[in-house]
Every structure is written in structure tokens, then in C-alpha cells.
Structure 1
Amino acid sequence: MRGFKISRALLIIALVAISTTSVKGQGFPENPIIKAPAVAPVIAPLAPVSFAPAPEPAPLWPPCDGVDIVYTNMYAVKIYPFLNDTPWLQPYRFESAVTITNMGYSTVEGWAIGIDFQNHEIIVDAEGIVLEDGRLMPVDVSNGTILTQIPAGVLKNAIETAGDMTQVQKSFIIKGTEFGVKLNPMPRSINITQKGYNCSKALLYGNNTMHTCCSEPNRNITLTDDEFFLPPETGNITITYDVTQAYPGSYLAHVTISNDSPIARLDFWNISFTWQENEFITKMMGATTREADREVCLNGIAGKTYTDPDMNTVLSCSVSPEIIDLPMEKYNDTQVGRIEYCCRNGTLWPALLDEKKSKSAFLMNVFKVPPMSNQLNHIIPPGNWRIADGRFKCGVPRRIKPTAYPDPYVLHETTAFKTWQVTCNETANKPPPKCCVSFSKYTNDSIVPCRTCACGCPANPQPACNPKASAMLLPYSAITMHPENRTRQILAWADINHNKNIPNPLPCQDYCGVAINWHVVSNFTGGWSSRMTLFDWSDTTYPDWFTVLQMTGAYDGFQQAYSFNATQMTIMNGTAPDNTSIMVTGLEGLNYLMAATNRSAGKLQSVFSFTKKLTPNMRERDYFPEKVWFNGEECAMPQGFPLSSGAIRTRGGAFGMGILVCYILVSNLFGLL
């Protein structure tokens, strides 16, 4: 037991000795030093990691080098009435977004978007956008439409705006109704109607997005100032809308109508437009409205807004007032007249005849209505301008540089507060002519008459006649007879000339109020002469009448007219028919073409003389006018003209002719003779 204890003690001593030995086999020093904890090694900073930029999303369509247009249908939802049995007639409400972006170099002035709808769409609302033709919403656009801004919108380019999308891009929402298409009703095509821009075919992307790019005509960079004005335009009729004075709730507008056409004349003009923010007219000078519309004033927005002015005395609260000129005796009236160019009974002459008589003007006091009525600078001109009963088509108002007016009280000129311009041009669909032309020649016994129904035919003519048969030749004795009294003369002349091809019933008359006969009187080596006779078969007297004769082959040889005043026309504003026309007016005492009395026409005539020194190679056709205008309206021309041989050349149809008349049918008439 004692031995075990000794062994145990020795073991403990040995362990203690081992534990006090250093790692290197040395014992601890007498004064051991306790070391501080080791410092962790410093890690060098990592170099910044550069990641490759994420690739841009692939464009949905190719980049555009002009104006980019996107049409997106957002939704379509079924509305009443529910037509489960006829789903193709089911109406749906739709909303679509249209975005137009100028991605080119040039500023786009007066832009307009054409949309070819195909689902019988009716546009109910398009905030900030109007129809170019002026129709008010809701409106049927099933045959397509053109949308624009009033006043004319401007899309600046990104270069001059440093990419400011508020000036480069325009977006708007179209709300409306379509029929029969449950999902994604889309148009056939979209485009911009800007002149010179060439639009690609509009393509669908997915089911609800259509895109097109309209390439610009050039890459000229446009730089504009802060107050950008559109350049003035030329047209047949120009309307200038000058705001001469502005107040918080109203403004004074001076409207000038200018006839810039070289030949068009307007009689009894009437002009209308559509207010964009329910404005109304309290007073006018130089013109008046056709109706007072006071009931509209009292019961409409104006009556609910204003107690002064008195709604019982305002002139018009119609959203589309019709304005007419005042008679000449009102010019010196201090209440409604005393405006330069006013009070001409609605007559606008061509500027080529009399520049001072080519303008009309009037002044109107316009009141605005809330919510923008108190903002002095907020003035929106009226849109949908119309003049002369649809004969002219007018564009949208364009903001141009303010008009400057001479001020009699100061040495400097006074400019308008704001100015807009509207241009109107004659439409291709012209109304039926009101005049017609017949030809004759001293070598031929027959007159080539006015065409059948040259100025239109009544629905049920009495006596019965054939509106499609060619007009029959006339003897000279019939030209002064009323057209309704020529039947015996026509039949007798056909019998004398052994003409057996007489239509039954006979051809209808021309039904023209004014007829013009051009008769070649003589033709000799050095020159020739003709006589023009005007017949007025209507009950209208034409004061200060004028005609225009287009005579390409004989123009250079024209010398003079003896009873009329005739001058060679010059090109004006690049809109003259050509530079081969002669303007004819009546001299004093012959400037009134009197109305018919007792079925006898009012008549005027004059001889014209021509020389051949400058026109030695005249053709038979050159002795007759190619076109004739009376008071600015083009007359219906006859089917042919008489030849020196006694024959008559036609434009592809035959008259009822006898022995003296040859049947010569030539398709390219003017190139051969």
C-alpha cells in the first residue's frame, strides 16, 4: 500500500516536470513574458470588378428615320345591347393609345395622322385631338379619318431639344365604339399625312400593336426659337384670325378673308367655324351672324356663367355660327360698319382684277367660358372652317407670326397678340357648271352647241328628253332663241342636212344660266378674228362680270378686244391656270350682264383680233379656247369644233350630222389638229 502511494507521487512529479518544459525542451525563464495576441495579416484590397453592360432589349421594330407612329389597342369590352344571335353586330367599347414620335432631323409642322378603321368605329372622345374635317364627336369614322390638333401641332426634333420627349413626342387616347370584334379591334393602316413624308406599310406586332415609320424627305436639321411660328401658306382663299386685344375673360378678334386665286370669284360668301371651348360672340362689326341663337345663350354654358353681358343682347352662342357679310350701305354705319374691307355684300374679286376688292374683314368680341376663361394667354382659335358652301376645303388654323397693323396714333406699328392662318383650296369634287360654251366658224353653217345637260339635268324633265344623247347641231338662227324653243329649228336643220339619225326623244337642253358662243369671224394670212357673245338666260344679273379664256396656241398672237377689256394674264402665287390665258372684263357701260326678260337673254359681245406673226403654225384647234371660266367658275365645253372644210371634229362622239358634216372620230384630238 505504501509502495503504491510512492509510485503515485513519483508519477505526479514526472508529469509536472514535463508540463514545465518549453516546446524547445527548455524550461520557462525565471520571469516569463506573456505575448500579445498575434495580429491578423492585412489582406490587399481587391481590384474593382467590371461587369459587361446588360444587352439592350431587342427593338420591336426597325429604327425609324422620320416620324414613328404606334397604335395600341388597350382593351375592348362588350356593351349594351347584347346581341348574342348576331355577334357581328355586337357593339364593344374600345380604348386605343396612339403615339407619334419625331425621330428625324426636321421639325414636323402641322402634323396629322390618318387611321383607316375597318370595324364600323365611332369615335366618342380623343382628348386634345380633333378630326381634320371638323366633324364633332361622337362621329362615324368607319371609312377612316384624319386626326390632328387645333391649332396646328408641332413636333420638334430631338437635336434641337436635347431629347426632350415632351416636345418630340405626342400621345393621345382614342375612346369609342366598334362592332363585331371581341378582341383587339385594329385598323387596316396608319400613317402621317405630312407632305413629303413616305410611310412604310403598317405592320402588326402581336395582336394589339400596329407600327409604321414615315421617312422624312431630307435630313436638314431644324432649329427653332422658343416662340415658334409656322410659315404662312398660300391657297385659293386665306383666312387670317388676329387676336388684337386680350382680356382675362374675353378677346377681340379681327378676321380677314383674302381671295388669292387668280380667277375664282365669290358672291354672297358665308363663312362658318366651330368653337373649341364653347366660346360665344357678344358683338360684331363688319359682318353679322345669320341667326342670333339667343335661346342657346340663355340656356347654355354662357347663361349659367355670366350675368354681364346681358345674354338677351349677345349676338350668337352657337357652337358653329354662320357669318355673312353686310350690304355696302352699312360701311359708314358707326354701330356695325367702319371696318376696312367690310360691307361688300359678300363679293370677293380675284386679286388679279382688283386687289382691294379681293378682301373682306370683320371684327368680333369673343367671350370665353370656364374652366380656362380667366387665363389671359389661353386662346384657342375656332376650327372646322368652311366657306362658300363646300366649294372650298379649309385646313386647320396654323400659328404664324403676329400681323402688324399701322397705328395712326403712334409712329410704330402695332402687332396682334396672336395670329392664326387658315388656308382653303377648291375641292376636286366641284359642283355642276353654271355656264357652257358653243363654237362656230364662218366656214361652217352649223353651230357646235353646248353639251346635253351641261349644267345638270332635272330629275323629271318636261317635256321628256334624252339626257344621254349627244346635242344636235344648231343653225345660226337658233342661237338667240330660248333653249326650250329650239325644237323646231333643230328638226328643220336636221331635215335640211338629210340627217336621219334623230334621237327619240330629242336630247335634253344644256340647262345653263349663262351660255358663251365663240365664233371665228375671219382667217387670213397675217391674222384672224373672232367674236365672243355672252347670253344670260337666267333671272340673275351679273354686275362686274369677267371671263378667262385659256388659248395655248393663240395666246402669243392676241392683240385686243374692242368692246371688252382683255389682257393677258400673269402667273400669280403659282396658282394661275397657266400663262396662256386671257382675262376679259366689261368696259364701263358693258360691265353688267343683264338677266333674261320675256324669255329673251341678256346679251353682250365683242370682237377679238389676233396676229399670226408669233404663231405661224396654228392648228385648227388653236382658234378655239381650251377652257373658259365665267366669274371664276369653269364652264362646260362643247364636244367638238368646226373645221375650215365645213366638217366638225368631235371628242369621240358624233353629233346628228348631215351632208355638210363629216364623221371624224379621233381619240387624241389635240395632238393631231
Structure 2
Amino acid sequence: MGGINLNGLFIKPPSSLLAEAYDALDPNGNITIKWDIISWTPDGYVAVVTMFNFQQYRHISAPGWTLSWTWAKKEVIWTMMGGQATDQGDCSRYKTSPPHCCKKTPSIVDLLPGTPYNQQIANCCKGGVINSWAQEPNNYGSSFQLSVGAAGTTNKTVKPPKNFTLLAPGPGYTCGPAVVGHPSKFISQDGRRVTQAMMTWNVTCTYSQFLAQKTPTCCVSLSSFYNETIVPCPTCTCGCQNNDTHPGSCVNPRSPYLASVVNGPGKNSLTPLVQCTKHMCPIRVHWHVKLNYKEYWRVKVTITNFNYRMNYSQWNLVVQHPNFDNLTQIFSFNYKPLTPYTSINDTAMLWGVKFYNDFLNQAGPMGNVQSELLFRKDKSTFTFEKGWAFPRRVYFNGDNCVMPPPEAYPHLPNAGSRLKFSIFIFFMTSLTLFFLFE
């Protein structure tokens, strides 16, 4: 695979990764941090730090990333562009012009959109939001620049930071040590000149849903045209209603005090405030087998947001089903095939159409998006029996959703039921004809 030019920085996507990559559907997915020293200063260096999201479908949503590390020596940050430290720390030893940050373990955040141009660098100032590689192939990075002092002024005296931590926006990522890599190359805007970093360190961060959230964040419900049973999300999938020990853990949508609860204390908290349901999940994905044609079959997918404190922008859904290699048409969603197993095309990434349904509103009447998928039948594999028509695995925004148990799936009527149904139809038709011609 060739390299990618992202705002002048020439990089190569990872061909292999740490063996402990967490996601079977995105085995090479990671966030790579490149620390490029671009020039030396009298007491240190100037570096550009860039985070590349090489995950196919997992993105960093608002309020954005926070990156921290521990300095190897007594380094300070003199100035920054494109980002800022959240805490200056104790800079009392500097009598004039104190540094931007003197903390041993600084925490850095992105600047917001609309930042003055004299504080920006290329690929910065998105409020910490980074899109996934597959969803936004030209917008999956974030950069900031810092001038580091008390650091050493040569390749032999400078030391890489340690203990990198990436919060995006909560826990979930585990970062490895900084490793010396090939110096990054920067291409000028006219493409006629290439410059090179003095030194480059690479840090790889991989994701674990268990670290991010010990309880699930989404669930799947199922239904079909051939069975009146609607299979709900399993009870207590994401928690249980318990007003005795956790009062206010959920909100009744019919409560007259709904607005005051939603807009009350903690309204800017990342902790979900969910609608009271049996499953208590912020997100539910419903898969409905809708119609059966001679050569095709149709599915309706609905994503419902039960979280009163979260709007999901740039949401995405990943679904694993064996018939995706015969997907014929999809309505009102974008589609991209994912092939984690190279030769098997059974995994699809779905996301909203920009400015139409790429924004999943918080809980309420507008808190859902939906689409329909039309599949062509492969007579050698197609069946409605034994749950084949339902997905094997579903992810929402990169988190694995809990499926109902297989024995609960809507099943086809058995042969006896079909026979009784046919006899009943024949009897009613004959009776109708008898009265019509009587």
C-alpha cells in the first residue's frame, strides 16, 4: 500500500501491529502518534505532534481527545500552537516570561474551531474530534506544535517522553512506549520540495472496549415479517432500573419534570442519562426482516438514541452478515465493505449522509435514524431458517452491541403450522366464494 500525503506529511499506514490488537473486525486498527522534531533551539527543540486514526470505523467524538505523557527529564513547554496544556503548573523558577507549561505530566487538548490563525498549524483546531479512516479518508488526523525547553539539543542528548495516555474522550486506549522511527518527510504545497524531521518517535495506542466502559453501551433487537414476535434487547443489558439504590438513573419520557431533569445539574456530563427501558442502553439497533421477493429480500435498520445527554455526530454502524457480498442497494445511508478476513466480504460499515442523517439526535421524537437494505439471494446459501437472516455482530461507534440469545430469534413457522395456515386460507376462500355465488 502506498503512502498518504496529509497536509504535507508523508506517512505510511501500518501494515502490521501489536499482537494484542483488540478488535477482530479491525485487527490493524490503532491510533499512531508521531512526534517529529523539526528544529533545534538554544535549550531544546520544536516538535510537531500528530495523531493519525488508523481505525476503520472507531472515531474520537466531542469533547475530543486529551493526550498526556511524562517528561524523561525536567523539560518544559515554552510555547504551543494548535493545542494547549490544560494546566500551567508551577513555573515559579522562571522569573520572566514563564513557560506555557511546567508540569512533569502535562495534559494537552486541541484548540477549538475558529481559533485565530496566528495560533493555528495545519490539521489542528477541531475541538479534539478525529474521524475514522474509512469514514473520512482525508480527515483522520490532528496536529499541534510545541517548543520544548531544558531538553537537550542533539539526537544523542534528547530523550523521548514516557507513559503516554490517550483519553478519547474517556479511557479506552492503551499506549505503548515511544519508539525511534524513520524521520518523517514533509512535502511542500507545490509538491516540489521534501524536508525531513531531525528525529521522529512513534507511539501506538490500541483500543479496548472493556477499559472504555465496563458495561455495554448498545444492544440489538430483532423482528421479521414471518413471525409476530418482536425480540427485544436482553433485560438489564446496560444496567437495571433501581430507584432504591440509584435514584434518577433513568428518566421516564412521560414525566412532567423531564425538561428540568435533562437540563439540571450535570447536563454537560458525559455520563449517560437514559430513558427508562428494560435494557437501559443509550443506543438500540433494531434489525427487521421486512420483505421477501423471488430474487431479493429486504431489511430495515433503525438506530434509536435513548440518551438525553448525547447527540451522536458522525455516527457509524458496523454489521457482520454473510449476505453483504450480495448487497444490491442501500437507502439513505453510506456503505463501505470491510474485509478483515481479506477474501470474505461479510462485514459492512454504514453511516449517515452528510447534512441529512449523519447527526443522531438525543433521546426524543427525533432521536432515531433508519435505512433499508436490499439483498440479492444466493440460492446456494440463502435461508430464513435458524436465524440466518439476522446479523452475527453489530458495532455502534466502535463498541460491540449485545445481541439477543440465539434461541430467542424469530423463527419460521414449523411445517404443521404452515399446513394449518394453508388449510385455513383454503377454507376461508371457499367459504367466501360460496357466499358470493349463493
Report TM bin, short chain: 0.7 to 0.9
| Contact preservation (8 Å) 1:404, 1:414 | yes
Give the equivalent residue in structure 1 for 2:217.
434
Matched, 1:548 2:343: no
Alpha-carbon offset, residue 422 of structure 1: 0.5
Once residues 423 and 601 of structure 1 are traced to their aligned partners in structure 2, the CA distance between those partners, rounded to angstroms, is: 38
Q: Deviations over 1:506-564 (max 9, x none)?
A: x972221121111110224422111011111212212222111111x212221121122
Partner secondary structure for residue 555 of structure 1: helix
Matched, 1:526 2:295: yes
Matched, 1:602 2:367: yes
Give the equivalent residue in structure 2 for 1:16.
none
Structure 1 residues 317 and 616: CA distance shift in structure 2, 3 A? same
| Contact preservation (8 Å) 2:40, 2:153 | no
State the number of aligned residues: 357
Alpha-carbon offset, residue 278 of structure 1: 2.0
Matched, 1:641 2:409: yes
Q: Which runs of 5 or more residues in structure 2 are unaligned?
A: 1-17, 20-27, 255-275, 416-438
Give the equivalent residue in structure 2 for 1:157.
none
Partner secondary structure for residue 429 of structure 1: helix
Once residues 264 and 435 of structure 1 are traced to their aligned partners in structure 2, the CA distance between those partners, rounded to angstroms, is: 15
| Contact preservation (8 Å) 1:537, 1:601 | no
Structure 1 residues 569 and 235: CA distance shift in structure 2, 3 A? closer
Once residues 522 and 354 of structure 1 are traced to their aligned partners in structure 2, the CA distance between those partners, rounded to angstroms, is: 33
| Contact preservation (8 Å) 1:341, 1:360 | yes
Give the equivalent residue in structure 1 for 2:46.
252
Once residues 296 and 190 of structure 2 are traced to their aligned partners in structure 1, the CA distance between those partners, rounded to angstroms, is: 59
Give the equivalent residue in structure 2 for 1:416.
197
| Contact preservation (8 Å) 2:69, 2:163 | yes
Alpha-carbon offset, residue 614 of structure 1: 6.4
Larger radius of gyration: 1
Once residues 524 and 404 of structure 1 are traced to their aligned partners in structure 2, the CA distance between those partners, rounded to angstroms, is: 55
Partner secondary structure for residue 566 of structure 1: strand
Once residues 331 and 140 of structure 2 are traced to their aligned partners in structure 1, the CA distance between those partners, rounded to angstroms, is: 27
Give the equivalent residue in structure 2 for 1:363.
145
Give the equivalent residue in structure 1 for 2:234.
451
Alpha-carbon offset, residue 377 of structure 1: 4.4
Once residues 646 and 577 of structure 1 are traced to their aligned partners in structure 2, the CA distance between those partners, rounded to angstroms, is: 36
Alpha-carbon offset, residue 577 of structure 1: 13
Counterpart selection for 1:620 from 386, 405, 412: 386
Once residues 577 and 236 of structure 1 are traced to their aligned partners in structure 2, the CA distance between those partners, rounded to angstroms, is: 22
Alpha-carbon offset, residue 245 of structure 1: 0.8
Once residues 483 and 511 of structure 1 are traced to their aligned partners in structure 2, the CA distance between those partners, rounded to angstroms, is: 12
Once residues 602 and 357 of structure 1 are traced to their aligned partners in structure 2, the CA distance between those partners, rounded to angstroms, is: 26
Once residues 206 and 343 of structure 2 are traced to their aligned partners in structure 1, the CA distance between those partners, rounded to angstroms, is: 14
Q: Which runs of 5 or more residues in structure 1 are unaligned?
A: 1-193, 196-233, 466-481, 486-506, 648-673
Give the equivalent residue in structure 1 for 2:56.
262
Partner secondary structure for residue 329 of structure 1: coil
Give the equivalent residue in structure 2 for 1:510.
279
Once residues 252 and 578 of structure 1 are traced to their aligned partners in structure 2, the CA distance between those partners, rounded to angstroms, is: 46
Structure 1 residues 463 and 420: CA distance shift in structure 2, 3 A? closer
Once residues 371 and 292 of structure 2 are traced to their aligned partners in structure 1, the CA distance between those partners, rounded to angstroms, is: 17
| Contact preservation (8 Å) 1:257, 1:360 | yes
| Contact preservation (8 Å) 1:243, 1:416 | yes
Partner secondary structure for residue 519 of structure 1: strand
Once residues 154 and 289 of structure 2 are traced to their aligned partners in structure 1, the CA distance between those partners, rounded to angstroms, is: 68
Alpha-carbon offset, residue 446 of structure 1: 2.4
Matched, 1:327 2:112: yes
Once residues 379 and 110 of structure 2 are traced to their aligned partners in structure 1, the CA distance between those partners, rounded to angstroms, is: 46
Partner secondary structure for residue 623 of structure 1: coil
Once residues 380 and 88 of structure 2 are traced to their aligned partners in structure 1, the CA distance between those partners, rounded to angstroms, is: 60
| Contact preservation (8 Å) 2:29, 2:56 | no
One-letter amino acid of the counterpart of residue 356, structure 1: N
Give the equivalent residue in structure 1 for 2:436.
none
Alpha-carbon offset, residue 566 of structure 1: 2.3
Partner secondary structure for residue 380 of structure 1: coil
Following superposition of structure 1 onto structure 2, how do residues 92-241 of structure 1 map, counting pairs within 5 Å?
235-241=29-35
Once residues 410 and 265 of structure 1 are traced to their aligned partners in structure 2, the CA distance between those partners, rounded to angstroms, is: 30
Counterpart selection for 1:350 from 109, 132, 136: 132
Query: Which 10-residue stretch deviates more, 619-628 or 389-398?
Result: 619-628
Once residues 611 and 409 of structure 1 are traced to their aligned partners in structure 2, the CA distance between those partners, rounded to angstroms, is: 47
Once residues 318 and 434 of structure 1 are traced to their aligned partners in structure 2, the CA distance between those partners, rounded to angstroms, is: 35
Once residues 525 and 614 of structure 1 are traced to their aligned partners in structure 2, the CA distance between those partners, rounded to angstroms, is: 11
Once residues 376 and 401 of structure 1 are traced to their aligned partners in structure 2, the CA distance between those partners, rounded to angstroms, is: 13
One-letter amino acid of the counterpart of residue 87, structure 2: E
Q: Deviations over 1:476-526 (max 9, x none)?
A: xxxxxx8877xxxxxxxxxxxxxxxxxxxxx97222112111111022442
* RMSD over aligned Cα atoms: 3.1
Following superposition of structure 1 onto structure 2, how do residues 6-17 of structure 1 map, counting pairs within 5 Å?
none
| Contact preservation (8 Å) 1:275, 1:381 | yes
| Contact preservation (8 Å) 1:557, 1:614 | no
Structure 1 residues 462 and 437: CA distance shift in structure 2, 3 A? farther
Alpha-carbon offset, residue 382 of structure 1: 0.8
Once residues 288 and 367 of structure 2 are traced to their aligned partners in structure 1, the CA distance between those partners, rounded to angstroms, is: 18
| Contact preservation (8 Å) 1:445, 1:646 | no
Q: Deviations over 1:423-456 (max 9, x none)?
A: 1112363412322111111122222111222223
Give the equivalent residue in structure 1 for 2:78.
282
Q: Deviations over 1:131-167 (max 9, x none)?
A: xxxxxxxxxxxxxxxxxxxxxxxxxxxxxxxxxxxxx
Alpha-carbon offset, residue 421 of structure 1: 0.3
Structure 1 residues 607 and 252: CA distance shift in structure 2, 3 A? same
Matched, 1:632 2:402: no
Structure 1 residues 564 and 646: CA distance shift in structure 2, 3 A? farther
Structure 1 residues 538 and 287: CA distance shift in structure 2, 3 A? same
Counterpart selection for 2:336 from 555, 563, 567: 567
Once residues 221 and 39 of structure 2 are traced to their aligned partners in structure 1, the CA distance between those partners, rounded to angstroms, is: 55
Partner secondary structure for residue 114 of structure 2: helix
Once residues 394 and 419 of structure 1 are traced to their aligned partners in structure 2, the CA distance between those partners, rounded to angstroms, is: 17
Once residues 240 and 375 of structure 1 are traced to their aligned partners in structure 2, the CA distance between those partners, rounded to angstroms, is: 18
One-letter amino acid of the counterpart of residue 612, structure 1: K
Once residues 245 and 287 of structure 2 are traced to their aligned partners in structure 1, the CA distance between those partners, rounded to angstroms, is: 29
What percent of counterpart residues are identical?
Answer: 29
Once residues 246 and 145 of structure 2 are traced to their aligned partners in structure 1, the CA distance between those partners, rounded to angstroms, is: 52
Partner secondary structure for residue 78 of structure 2: strand
Once residues 464 and 276 of structure 1 are traced to their aligned partners in structure 2, the CA distance between those partners, rounded to angstroms, is: 44
One-letter amino acid of the counterpart of residue 160, structure 2: P
Once residues 464 and 559 of structure 1 are traced to their aligned partners in structure 2, the CA distance between those partners, rounded to angstroms, is: 47
Following superposition of structure 1 onto structure 2, how do residues 387-398 of structure 1 map, counting pairs within 5 Å?
387-388=166-167, 389-398=170-179
Once residues 559 and 374 of structure 1 are traced to their aligned partners in structure 2, the CA distance between those partners, rounded to angstroms, is: 59
Alpha-carbon offset, residue 632 of structure 1: 2.0
Once residues 379 and 76 of structure 2 are traced to their aligned partners in structure 1, the CA distance between those partners, rounded to angstroms, is: 61
Query: Which 10-residue stretch deviates more, 375-384 or 238-247?
Result: 375-384
Q: Deviations over 1:385-438 (max 9, x none)?
A: 111233111110110110011245994311001001001112363412322111
Higher relative contact order at CA 8 Å, sep ≥6: structure 1 or structure 2?
A: 2
The TM-score, its normalising length taken from structure 2, stands at 0.74
Once residues 394 and 252 of structure 1 are traced to their aligned partners in structure 2, the CA distance between those partners, rounded to angstroms, is: 23
